[in-house]
Amino acid sequence: MNSLDPRVNRLPQLKEVVLPKAPLDQFGTYEVFVQPKEGKPFQHEGIVHAPNLELAWVLAKEAFTRRFTCTSLYVVDTRDVYVSPLTEGDKNAYDLIPEITEQAGNKKNFEIYHLVKRGKQHVHVGTVQAVLPQEAMQLAGKQFNNGKIVYNVWAIATDTIRFTTDEEKELWLTLPKKKFRDASDYKGGDKLKAFLEKR
Residues that bind another protein (CB under 8 A): 1, 3-5, 7-8, 11-12, 14, 18, 20-21, 24-29, 31, 44, 46-52, 55, 62-63, 66-68, 77-79, 81, 83, 86, 88, 118-122, 154, 178, 180-188, 191-192, 194-196, 199
Count of other CB atoms within 10 angstroms of residue 149 = 19
Nearer to another protein, 69 or 127 (CB): 69
Q: Which of 55, 72, 142 is nearest to 102 (CA)?
A: 142
Which of 5, 76, 86, 4 has the alpha carbon at shortest distance from 34?
76
Choose between 142 and 187: whose C-beta lies nearer to another protein: 187
Enumerate residues 6+ apart whose C-beta is below 8 A from 11: 1
Q: Rounded CA gap, 66 and 72, in Å? A: 12
> Is the Cβ of residue 68 or residue 102 nearer to another protein in the bound state?
68
Q: How far is the CB of 153 from another protein (least distance, A)?
A: 12
Min dist CB 90 to another protein, Å, is: 13
Least distance CB 126 / another protein (angstroms) = 20
User: Contact at 8 Å (CB) between 87 and 151?
Assistant: yes
> Shortest gap between Cβ of 187 and another protein (angstroms)?
8
120 CB-contact burial (10 Å; exposed 0-12 / middle 13-18 / buried 19+): exposed
Q: Which is nearer to another protein, 104 or 196 (CB)?
A: 196
In the chain the first and final C-alpha atoms are separated, in Å, by 44
Q: Tell me, what DSSP letter sits at residue 126?
A: E
Residue 51 or 102 having the CB closest to another protein: 51
**Which CB atom, from 49 or from 129, has the smaller least distance to another protein?**
49
Closest distance between another protein and the C-beta of residue 104, in Å? 30
Cβ 14 to another protein, closest distance in Å?
6
